[in-house]
Amino acid sequence: MRKSVYTICAVSAAALMLNLTACGGSGQKEIAAGTTAAEVTESAAETTTAAEESQASPDLTEILEAVQDAYGEDYLPNTAIDATVLEQTYGIDAGLYEEFVGEMPMISTHVDTFLAVRAKAGEGETVEELLNAYRDSQIEGAMQYPMNLPKFEASQVVRYGDDVYFVMLGAYDDSITGEEELLAFYQTQVQIGLDMIDSFYE
């Protein structure tokens, strides 16, 4: 009789061990599954963030080309703006930007300019201030050909986050003699470029 009791106890103990092992294995599988899900979630979040950053940062060269197409023959800049001109003319040194693209006319009698600057994080406002300071200096203090002063007055500096643009583009019209009418005409010309730029940030 005592032997039977021992046998029953041994069987019960073995069954208990099997249950514990099964529970432990199930728990390990659940933890592993949970870790995998977290990794998938993190990967998806990184992909979403990368896509958002890409969408928020359009290619500056593509924008330049789109602006050129929008103006057609009335797009006059034909000389690339380099880092030296960017710093010496506009006061924007290499510590303020990640990249830029811009063009200006080779002939000094024209002032048409397109400039796009992708500032370093948090420096967009500084670049905007520098471009506005350049614009103001040309309107108030620089010697300009009479036909070019309304162009400067119609020019615009616009900013999208840390992307900053200076736009002074469009056709000339010698048939317009009134100052207000000429300024209004140049403003409509500049707006062509502004609308094209804006379409990349919608």
Report pLDDT digits (tens) over 103-143: 999 887 889 999 999 999 999 999 999 999 999 999 987 67
Smallest CA-to-CA distance from 91 within 133, 142, 144, 152 is with 133
pTM: 0.73
Three-class secondary structure of residue 119 per DSSP: strand
Q: Report which secondary-structure segment, H or E, holds 8.
A: helix 2-56
Res. 7: pLDDT tops 90: no
pLDDT surpassing 90 at residue 1: no
- Residue 65, SS3 per DSSP: helix
What value does the mean pLDDT of the chain take? 80
Indicate the range of 27-36, 112-121, 122-131, 182-191 predicted with least confidence. 27-36
Sign for the pseudo-dihedral over CA of 22, 23, 27, 28? negative
Best CA proximity match to 198, nearest among 160, 150, 148, 161: 160
Tokens 């294995």 label which residue?
25
Residue 59: left (phi > 0), alpha (psi -120 to 50), or beta?
beta
Burial pattern 12-46, b for ≥16 Cβ within 10 A else e, equals eeeeeeeeeeeeeeeeeeeeeeeeeeeeeeeeeee
Instruction: Judge whether residue 4 has pLDDT over 70.
Output: no
User: H helices then E strands: how many in the chain?
Assistant: 6, 5
Residues 177 and 196 sit within 8 Å (Cβ to Cβ): no
Other CB atoms within 10 A of residue 168 CB: 27
pLDDT class of 56 with cuts at 50, 70, 90: low
Where helices occur in 57-90 by DSSP H, the ranges are: 60-71, 83-90
More confident: 39 or 191: 191
Do 81 and 179 contact (CB within 8 A), yes or no? Answer: no
d(CA 136, CA 77): 21
DSSP 156: E
| 8 Å CB contact between 60 and 99 | yes
